């Protein structure tokens, strides 16, 4: 055998290492390889040890093959390291090895018995916002690395911010190099607190903190022996088990046409429209509309190479046959007739600028969106987001490399789109410079009504009508509350329809009123009979419903009443806005999550809503036809049905007591 | 399928590179899935070094004929005859490096603006950073720092005349994914992927088939062994592994248990230097 580092490891023929039974067993397991795929992005500042962490994940989960390992051993020695430098597994290109940093997005693959993984390894250096955006655009989860010795850096904030902008559902903060701070719990706690304070302002649904040492392997694959105080799971376990709330939108049918399939000449009049389903479930017989033309027809059949199928959903690639011979070509989008995306040649979007050449009105740009490309006729700068301070710079007139900003985009022809928040495929775009052909920016389309206030999360700006001034009252709040003998506040009950929100809220109301406190139940259904009677159930109307209710609750609380809001309020950002509104008015806001599994709610179904939704009579019922975003940090979680109503009421009163709003026992 | 259709729609003259190897077999099936019952909107091309395994060349011709598409063979032999390249000499002579010139010439001659290839990011460190749509300048060169960012599944296919892109639809697949797909789809692969008796000799810890294209060194003794190939390339730089895996099932099992990467185990071309692949890619190799 060769003595060089390249010594090959010929594995023995299978018969020598495994019996026939064992082989059959391995094969059975292989054919059941986990289908579930988690794509995650890693980001960290230079020297946070990101490459080492990835190397450690691969090495400890036994994904490093012997020739790769020998290569690392050799190079480690040559570079003067006396330990195995696992970062060499991932720092691939020559330039980065020379500079000792990662300069581009690199992809890694590994699998465990639970899941398959694709890692988008992105550099965290300040200049590389664009790489982070690139890697994060397809990720289900993002890992942000923080050096325990340095704590949160501006980059850490930037990474969290970008994750929230791109709506990555899960964020894992790895506090690395714990070995260099003597595995001190206080150091970890301090960073967690700081990060949480920051993340509260962002739209990040799920944040997990893990103290690790990538160099030594603590809490990466194996639980650390040096941090007994940490009760959570090691990183790999978390990656294997985190619930991947499906990104797929199964509600809104969206099918951008990529390609028209016609057979070789002379073999019939077959014609089908090929593409990848971007949303919803398509079935033969469905009535559909072709946009932007607006022509209606029905799906005659759904074809694949392996034969026709009865339904198609994301991310299937199929070909649709239509009943009528209407004009459909690449760039058309097929949707359900009663649930259509927006067709417009102007929209608001957030851009991440990726080119050395700044945004300029002198240059000619194209927008590529789904399968359509259109030229840009005007870009109006709204503001630049200052990533250091996280505030809006409304004086900005351009965007430079790695800048993020909001613009109004005008195109020469219309696009067929949704907001990015509703659908990542039909809500994302890239901007191309027509002269250099460079990809100069990535953009997410905003839902103008609801996302205006969320685009820059650090600010909560109450919507104001121009020319209306606030009528100041001479009476102070404290005088009012003193006279009443108690303070006002809002308790906000959120949860799926049928979870038991109203039952609990009215029990709390009764208890408070019996005790001589002013309390009033603002029930979502009841408000829709009057104040919100003009509102529909689409995303925008739901947001407006929450906004109005929040304002009413605020007034009740101001008046010294405990406002009990019982409202599905499915969107995180809307509830966050309600909370912010109360914060601005210095009023207590208590979020109670009434948690019940969908099946239980459907079983209870006090108003027969689920039955109607399943029968197709009710569209957009939260949980069935529309999404519900569970609170990440509610003040209280009640699991309906787990305990008695009385006990639930007591728990709500305990929270009030903790806030000084109710006498403690 | 999404990538194949996007590229086919956005480029004027695409071509699908087919070597008869397992990755390009998968690519061919994906193209069938993307465009049938229509014809492929592109021809199929093979860069033939003249030193390819005869079993593979036979398979290539048969498979392309079966699916009824047009095959272009670009031959390194022709490039040598035209004086575009000079054959290497000596015991380690290989035509692997010469392929690049032939490939680029063929792309220029046919004015192809997009070439589909079966390269995967898991194969090698330099390929880990490769894009799905990889931009090549007018000299066919790859500049790792100058690649366009790829966001979501939106590909920027705009190029100038003379430039072209390489398109890698199975970038995100692993070797095991490829074999599983072959098994699921019941695809035929060339016989050299399965264990067979062959006369080989050992060099640098790898087993090479004896052939007129390889000169034996003084200490190199041919012997017969049961071997199979993990990759299919030029005979002069593609090594075999000792194996008794005679069926698809055995092959999948063997790969699942392997400790060495396919390129590290069987490709001499990647062992030349630490950044061998990166350097070749810069010049226009896949």
**pLDDT over 70 percentage in chain A:** 80
Q: What pLDDT score was predicted for residue B237? A: 79
The CA distance from B101 to the nearest CA of chain A, in Å, is 24
Residue with token string 């790999």:
A236
Burial class (CB in 10 A: 0-12, 13-18, 19+), A623: buried
Q: What pLDDT score was predicted for residue A665? A: 57
| Most confident stretch, A55-64, A292-301, B93-102 | A292-301
Q: How many CB atoms lie within 10 A of CB B54?
A: 11
Beta strand A372-386 with A391-393 is: antiparallel
Substitution target from B34, B120, B149 for chain A, most A beta carbons within 10 A: B149
Nearest to A65 among B158, B242, B258 (CB): B258
**pLDDT over 90 percentage in chain B:** 28
User: For A280-371, where are the E strands, in sequence order?
Assistant: 287-291, 295-304, 307-309, 317-322, 333-336, 342-353, 365-369
Tell me: pLDDT of B267 over 70: no
Mean pLDDT of A387-402: 84
Range from A91-100, B11-20, B38-47 carrying the lowest mean pLDDT: A91-100
* CB burial readout A491-516, b (16+ within 10 A) else e: bbbbbbbbbbbbbbbbbbbebbeeee
Q: What pLDDT score was predicted for residue A8? A: 30
- The candidate with the shortest Cα–Cα distance to B152, out of A622, A445, A490, A202, is A445
Tell me: pLDDT of A204 over 80: no
Say if CB A348 and CB A446 are below 8 A apart: yes
Distances, alpha carbon B156 to alpha carbons A276, A487, A612, B170, in Å: 18, 59, 45, 18
Range from A212-216, A298-302, B172-176 carrying the lowest mean pLDDT: B172-176
Distances, alpha carbon A660 to alpha carbons A398, A636, A657, in Å: 49, 16, 5
Mean pLDDT of A357-364: 91
Substitution target from A274, A330, A351, A375 for chain B, most B beta carbons within 10 A: A274
Mean pLDDT of A635-663: 86
- The candidate with the shortest Cα–Cα distance to B88, out of B45, B50, B53, B124, is B50
- The candidate with the shortest Cα–Cα distance to A122, out of A140, A101, A152, is A101
Say if CB A250 and CB B27 are below 8 A apart: no
Tell me: pLDDT of A171 over 70: yes
Phi, psi for A69 (deg, rounded to 5): -65, -40
| Most confident stretch, A7-16, B93-102, B242-251 | B242-251
- The candidate with the shortest Cα–Cα distance to A91, out of A117, A139, A138, A58, is A58
- CB pair distance less than 8 Å for A437 and B152: no
| DSSP letters for A48-76 | S-HHHHHHHHHHHTT---HHHHHHHHHHH
Q: What pLDDT score was predicted for residue A463? A: 41
Domain A344-451 adopts which CATH fold? Elongation Factor Tu (Ef-tu); domain 3 (2.40.30)
Whether A78 and chain B come into contact, CB under 8 Å, resolves to: no
Tell me: pLDDT of A146 over 80: yes
Q: What pLDDT score was predicted for residue B75? A: 84
CATH 3.30.70.260 matches A477-658: no
Q: What pLDDT score was predicted for residue B279? A: 61
pLDDT band at A590 (very low <50, low <70, confident <90, very high): very high
Q: How many CB atoms lie within 10 A of CB A377?
A: 14
Domain A32-241 adopts which CATH fold? Rossmann fold (3.40.50)
Q: What pLDDT score was predicted for residue A20? A: 53
Helix A20-31, helix B248-256: angle, nearest 10: 80
The residue extents of the domains of chain A are 32-241, 254-336, 344-451, 477-658
| DSSP letters for B184-223 | HHT----GGGS-EEEEEEEETTEEEE--TTSPPPTT---E
Domains of chain B in sequence order: 2-176+275-283 (3.40.50.620), 184-270 (no CATH)
- CB pair distance less than 8 Å for B242 and A68: no
pLDDT tens, position by position, A59-106: 777 666 556 666 666 666 666 655 566 666 655 544 444 444 445 677
Reading the block at residue B192, the tokens are: 């050299």
Q: What pLDDT score was predicted for residue A95? A: 46
Nearest to B250 among A14, A134, A138 (CB): A14
Q: What pLDDT score was predicted for residue A3? A: 29
The CATH code belonging to domain A254-336 is 2.40.30.10
Tell me: pLDDT of B23 over 60: yes
Identical topology for domains A254-336 and A477-658:
no
Question: Nearest-CA residue of chain A relative to B129?
Answer: A106
Catalytic-labelled residue, pool A332, A456, A566, A569: A569
Q: What pLDDT score was predicted for residue B93? A: 72
pLDDT band at B128 (very low <50, low <70, confident <90, very high): confident
pLDDT band at A163 (very low <50, low <70, confident <90, very high): confident
A569: annotated active-site residue:
yes
Residue with token string 């001499």:
B268
Nearest to A108 among B5, B128, B265 (CB): B128
- CB pair distance less than 8 Å for A442 and B149: yes
Tell me: pLDDT of B44 over 50: yes
């Amino acid at each position: 055998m060769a003595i060089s580092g390249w010594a090959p490891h010929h594995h023995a023929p299978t018969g020598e290492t495994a019996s026939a039974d064992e082989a059959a067993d391995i094969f059975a397991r292989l054919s059941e390889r986990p289908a579930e795929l988690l794509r995650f992005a890693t980001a960290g500042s230079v020297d946070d040890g990101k490459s080492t962490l990835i190397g450690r994940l691969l090495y400890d989960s036994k994904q490093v093959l012997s020739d790769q390992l020998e290569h690392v051993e050799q190079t480690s020695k040559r570079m003067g390291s006396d330990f195995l430098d696992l970062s060499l597994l991932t720092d691939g290109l020559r330039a980065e090895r020379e500079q000792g940093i990662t300069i581009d997005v690199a992809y890694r693959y590994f699998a465990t018995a639970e899941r398959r993984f694709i890692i988008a390894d992105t550099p965290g250096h300040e200049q590389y916002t664009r790489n982070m955006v690139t890697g994060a655009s397809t990720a289900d989860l993002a890992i942000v690395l923080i050096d325990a010795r340095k704590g949160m850096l501006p980059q850490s904030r930037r990474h969290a911010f970008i994750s929230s902008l791109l709506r990555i559902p899960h964020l894992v903060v790895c506090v690395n190099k714990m070995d260099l701070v003597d595995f001190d719990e206080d150091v970890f706690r301090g960073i967690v607190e700081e990060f949480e304070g920051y993340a509260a302002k962002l739209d990040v649904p799920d944040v997990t903190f893990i103290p690790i040492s990538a160099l030594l392997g603590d809490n990466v694959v194996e639980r650390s022996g040096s941090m007994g105080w940490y009760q959570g799971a090691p990183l790999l376990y978390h990656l294997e088990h985190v619930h991947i709330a499906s990104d797929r939108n199964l509600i809104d049918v969206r099918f951008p046409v990529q390609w028209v399939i016609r057979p070789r000449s002379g073999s019939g009049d077959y014609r089908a429209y090929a593409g990848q389903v971007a949303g919803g479930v398509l079935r033969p017989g469905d009535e559909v509309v072709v946009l932007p033309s607006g022509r209606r027809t029905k799906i005659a059949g759904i074809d694949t190479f392996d034969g026709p199928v009865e339904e198609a959903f994301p991310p299937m690639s199929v070909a649709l046959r239509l009943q009528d011979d209407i004009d459909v070509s690449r760039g058309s989008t097929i949707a359900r007739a009663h649930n259509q995306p927006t067709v417009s040649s102007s929209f608001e979007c957030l851009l991440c600028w990726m080119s050395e050449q700044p945004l300029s009105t002198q240059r000619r740009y194209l927008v590529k969106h789904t399968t359509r490309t259109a030229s840009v006729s005007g870009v109006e700068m709204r503001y630049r987001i200052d990533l250091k301070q996280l505030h809006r710079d409304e004086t900005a007139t351009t965007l430079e490399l790695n800048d993020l900003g909001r613009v109004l985009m005008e195109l020469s022809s219309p696009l067929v789109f949704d907001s990015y928040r509703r659908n990542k495929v039909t809500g994302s775009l890239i901007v191309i410079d027509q002269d250099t052909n460079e990809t100069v920016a990535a953009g997410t389309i905003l839902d103008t009504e609801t996302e205006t206030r969320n685009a820059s999360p650090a600010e909560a700006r109450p919507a104001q009508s121009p020319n209306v001034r606030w009528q100041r009252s001479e009476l102070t709040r404290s005088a009012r509350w003193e006279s009443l003998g108690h303070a006002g506040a809002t308790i906000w009950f959120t949860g799926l329809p049928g979870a038991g929100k109203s039952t609990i809220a009215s029990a709390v109301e009764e208890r408070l009123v019996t005790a001589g406190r002013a309390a009033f139940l603002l029930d979502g259904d009841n408000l829709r009979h009057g104040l919100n009677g003009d509102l529909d159930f689409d995303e925008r109307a739901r947001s407006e419903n929450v906004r109005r209710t929040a304002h009413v609750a605020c007034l009740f609380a101001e008046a010294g009443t405990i406002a009990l809001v019982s409202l599905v309020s499915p969107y995180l950002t809307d509830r966050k806005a309600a909370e912010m509104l109360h914060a601005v008015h210095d009023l207590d806001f208590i979020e109670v999550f009434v948690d019940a599994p969908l099946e239980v709610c459907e079983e209870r179904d006090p108003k027969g809503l689920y039955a109607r939704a399943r029968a197709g009579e009710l569209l957009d019922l939260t949980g069935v036809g529309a999404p519900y975003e569970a609170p990440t940090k509610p003040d209280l979680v009640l699991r309906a049905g787990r305990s008695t109503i009385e006990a639930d009421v007591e728990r709500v009163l305990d929270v009030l007591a903790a806030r000084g709003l109710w006498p403690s026992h | 399928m999404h990538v194949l259709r996007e590229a086919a729609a956005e480029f004027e003259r695409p071509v699908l590179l087919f070597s008869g190897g397992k990755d390009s077999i998968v690519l061919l099936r994906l193209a069938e899935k993307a465009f049938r019952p229509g014809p492929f909107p592109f021809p199929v091309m093979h860069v033939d070094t003249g030193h390819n395994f005869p079993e593979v060349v036979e398979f290539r011709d048969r498979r392309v004929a079966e699916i009824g598409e047009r095959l272009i063979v670009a031959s390194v032999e022709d490039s040598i005859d035209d004086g575009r390249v000079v054959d290497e000499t000596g015991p380690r002579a290989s035509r692997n490096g010469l392929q690049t010139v032939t490939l680029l010439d063929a792309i220029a001659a046919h004015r192809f603006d997009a070439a589909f290839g079966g390269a995967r990011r898991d194969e090698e460190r330099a390929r880990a950073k490769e894009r799905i749509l990889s931009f090549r300048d007018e000299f066919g060169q790859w500049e790792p720092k100058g690649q366009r960012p790829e966001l979501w599944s939106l590909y920027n296919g705009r190029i100038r005349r003379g430039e072209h892109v390489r398109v890698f639809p199975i970038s995100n697949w692993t070797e095991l994914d490829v074999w599983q797909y072959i098994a699921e789809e019941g695809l035929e692969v060339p016989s050299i992927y399965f264990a067979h008796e062959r006369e080989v000799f050992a060099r640098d810890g790898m087993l090479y088939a004896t052939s007129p294209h390889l000169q034996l060194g003084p200490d190199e003794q041919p012997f017969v062994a049961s071997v199979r190939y993990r990759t299919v390339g030029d005979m002069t730089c593609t090594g075999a592994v000792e194996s008794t895996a005679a069926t698809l099932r055995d092959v999948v099992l063997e790969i699942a248990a392997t400790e060495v990467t396919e390129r590290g185990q069987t490709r001499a071309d990647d062992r030349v230097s630490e950044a061998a692949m990166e350097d070749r890619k810069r010049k226009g190799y896949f």
